[in-house]
Structure formats: structure tokens, C-alpha cells
Amino acid sequence: QVRLVESGGGQVQAGDSLRLSCESSGRRFSSYAMGWFRQAPGKEREFVAAFAWSGGTPLYGDSVKGRFTISRDNAKDAVYLQMNDLQPVDTAVYYCAGGISPRSDRRIADNFDYWGQGTQVTVSS
């Protein structure tokens, strides 16, 4: 059974930082796409950041460029999201995603095959 497990969410103040982690089990993702999406109440799931493949240049959503950094540890089949200068608009459930099927655009949620259960990030002003 493939599992992606996120951790590191929490409640912070505006301007603070958080680091999210996602570890996989049940299959290797070291050669495949891994990324992060988020979903705020009443809104669609939004692309945050992703690696299209194991050695690719990271992709970022426009709203997080310059503040968030995605990284991965292929030996651990893990992906991380360093979030700096958090703002209330960043409040959402953050989901880790893994993609093994060949897809051209990893900014689209439907192009990922596996999902974690999500971790809540709440930013207060």
C-alpha cells in the first residue's frame, strides 16, 4: 500500500516560517514527480510547488514564489516545503502528492497519482 504522510503543519503568526515534510512508503518516488498543493475552505486545490521528476528544476505557484522552497531527499523518498514569511492567505490544508504516470504539467492536481492526508497550516495576523 502506497502512503504519503505529511507533517510539520501548525498555527503561526504572520511573518513566521514553517517546514513541511512528506515521507512515502510502499513504493519508491526517487525517480518521479513529487509536489505540494493546498486547499483553503471553499476553494479549489491550488498548486504550490513540485519537482516534475527527480532531478528537475522546481516549479512554483505564483503566489508562493520567493517565499516557499521545495526540496527533496531521494534516498529517503521524502519531499519538503520550507515556507517563509507566511501570511493569512497561506492558511490551508497542505497536501503532498506523488506522480508516477507520465504527465506534462505537474501544476495540475489531476496529474498526480498519490496523495497524503494533508496537514493544516493556519496563519493569523
| DSSP string for 67-82 | TEEEEEETTTTEEEEE
**pLDDT of 31 over the 90 cut:** no
pLDDT, residue 101, reads 87
Give the mean model confidence (pLDDT) for residues 44-63. 91
pLDDT, residue 6, reads 97
In the structure, what pLDDT confidence band is assigned to residue 102 with cuts at 50, 70 and 90?
confident
- What are the E-state strand segments in the chain? 3-7, 10-13, 18-25, 33-39, 46-51, 59-60, 68-73, 78-83, 92-99, 114-115, 119-124
pLDDT, residue 63, reads 97
**pLDDT of 123 over the 90 cut:** yes
The pLDDT mean for the chain works out to 94
pLDDT, residue 28, reads 87
Residue with more model confidence, 53 or 33: 33
Give the mean model confidence (pLDDT) for residues 88-98. 97
**pLDDT of 56 over the 80 cut:** no
